[in-house]
Amino acid sequence: MKLYNKINGEELKKQLLESKEKRVTLSFYQYANIENPKKFRDDLYIMLNKEGVLGRIYVAAEGINGQLSVPEKNFEPFKKALYSIDFLNGIRLNIAIEDDGKSFFKLKIKVRNKIVADGLDDASFDVTKRGKHLKAEAFNELTDNPETIVVDMRNHYESEVGYFENAIRPDVETFREALPLVEEMLEDKKDKPIVMYCTGGIRCEKASAYYLHKGFKEVYMVDGGIIDYAREVNEKGLKNKYIGKNFVFDDRMGERISDEVVAKCHQCGTACDTHINCANDACHILFIQCENCAEKYDKCCSKKCSDFIKLPEEEQQMLKLTTEFNGTKFGKGRYKAHHQDDELEK
Q: Residue 25 belongs to a domain with what CATH number? A: 3.30.70.100
Number of domains in the chain: 3
Neighbour tally for 136: CB within 10 Å = 24
133 and 83 belong to one structural domain: no
Strand partners, 67: 27, 56
Kindly report the CATH number assigned to the domain that includes residue 129.
3.40.250.10
174-179, Cβ contacts within 8 angstroms, sequence gap of 24 or more: 174/117, 174/332, 175/116, 175/117, 175/118, 175/203, 175/207, 176/117, 176/118, 176/119, 178/153, 178/154, 178/207, 179/118, 179/119, 179/120, 179/207, 179/210
Residues of the chain where predicted confidence (pLDDT) is lower than 50: 338-340, 342-346
101 and 163 belong to one structural domain: no
91 and 127 belong to one structural domain: no
Of the CA atoms within 13 Å of residue 305, those in its CB half-sphere come to 26
pTM of this structure: 0.82
129 and 198 belong to one structural domain: yes
Question: Cα Rg for the chain, rounded, in angstroms?
Answer: 21
Rounded CA gap, 42 and 125, in Å? 31
220 and 288 belong to one structural domain: no
Rounded CA gap, 247 and 286, in Å? 12
Domain contains 19: yes
Q: Which of 87, 111, 135 is the last residue of a domain?
A: 111
**At residue 255, what are phi and psi to the nearest 5 degrees?**
-135, 135
Strand partners, 194: 149, 219
CA dihedral 262, 225, 64, 17 (to 10 degrees): -50
The strands making up 132-134's β-sheet, listed across from edge to edge, are 132-134, 218-222, 193-197, 149-152
152 and 49 belong to one structural domain: no
Q: Residue 97: its pLDDT value, please?
A: 78
Q: Residue 253: its pLDDT value, please?
A: 85
Q: Residue 338: its pLDDT value, please?
A: 47
> For residue range 106-155, what is the model confidence (pLDDT) as tens digits?
899 999 999 988 888 888 888 889 999 999 999 999 999 999 999 999 99
DSSP 87: G
Rounded CA gap, 103 and 27, in Å? 12
131 and 107 belong to one structural domain: no
Domain contains 203: yes
CA angle 11, 247, 72 (to 5 degrees): 55
Domain contains 289: yes
Burial profile 155-187: b = 16 or more Cβ within 10 angstroms, e = fewer: bbbbbbbbbbeebbbbebeebeebbeebbeebe
Taking CA atoms, 4 is separated from 44, 55, 60, 108, 246, in Å, by 12, 12, 18, 7, 30
Name every residue whose Cβ is closer than 8 Å to that of residue 328 and which is 6 or more positions away in sequence.
282, 283
Q: Which of 85, 111, 137 is the last residue of a domain?
A: 111
Domain contains 266: no
Domain contains 91: yes
237 and 135 belong to one structural domain: yes
134 and 102 belong to one structural domain: no
Rounded CA gap, 165 and 159, in Å? 12
- Helix ranges (H only) for 260-323 are 291-296, 303-308, 313-319
Domain contains 134: yes
147 and 230 belong to one structural domain: yes
188 and 134 belong to one structural domain: yes
Containing structural domain, residue 281: 275-345
Domain contains 188: yes
Nearest to 308 by CA among 337, 266, 280: 280
Question: Which residues are known to be catalytic?
Answer: 198
**At residue 262, what are phi and psi to the nearest 5 degrees?**
-105, -5
Nearest to 211 by CA among 130, 91, 136: 130
Domain contains 264: no
139 and 234 belong to one structural domain: yes
